Structure 1
């Protein structure tokens, strides 16, 4: 267990204490012993405090969101109720809990650190997924715009983030693959708002 808490861990511990959680419950959520929690809550620790510089991107779950999820699970709330309070999709909450120990073992701080580790790993391009690339290519060949494709994917695959891609990513893939006259034509399409012709190869 960690004994040197970050600013964020101390703040989380104090918020959970104010919500009535026991020291042992807080320790499980924060990732330390209840003795360390006691010192943090009472502000007795003399250790220098470091801060975690990582912040989730826009639209991602924050530490405060994960705190609310853990409290909701503790109270036996449904994913729907928790998602409603957070203003998030139910699928977002269910995936978050399932990927971090399930209802019985979800811990706010641990889940937040896992999210940080995932965010720092090199990302595989979305269009490297053969199934997604094939679907995008099909609709581009039917003269759909990248904006139309992104919207349709969100509708048809609402619960499958691996089958969703932003229109910016699609445009980027077109430019990476485009050469010569095709590249110039793609640029003209972007400036005029017309649909871009699809004669590019599937991204690798």
Structure 2
């Protein structure tokens, strides 16, 4: 899960749209796309039962860019940004790049035969928070451990973040890549009060094999 490039071709509608743009022959600056914002809202409602408004969708040139923008926007230089490890490396570099202090909390891990399972270790999570911590960057589904967090786990994360008045930045780029009957639940969909303190990052990169196109979005419901 830690490499964006897949071995399959992108869907034909995407290829057709790119060909259409190439045939147009002009590659000038783009602007805000209200239709794209609406499509993101429709998709979240259809796939995840999450109701959002187009005004909450902020388009970005990439999800890693979003991690850096959020790290810079929340708090002040030197403030703490907490992440759960192991995790996708840009989670570890974005806070430092933006003059924030990286704080880490290890996931819990259990082994049964050849099966290794990771889960939130709430004691370690809460224990890593101090008076400087302003932001928690969540990865759900979690890259690279492959976990789509349960409702109970997300509620536990949300409760601790609310108790310590932390902003949550939730990277949900893998939300469409699920096995079996596993369901993805956006943490912001738990409760309106949680949505008020959450910035959700999404992108088509993993689902449709288009990481090189540089398209993502932040969903900010209290903007």
Q: Provide TM-score, normalisation by structure 1.
A: 0.22
Q: Provide TM-score, normalisation by structure 2.
A: 0.21
Which of structures 1 and 2 has the bigger CA Rg? 1
Going by fraction, where is strand more abundant, 1 or 2?
A: 2
Going by fraction, where is helix more abundant, 1 or 2?
A: 1
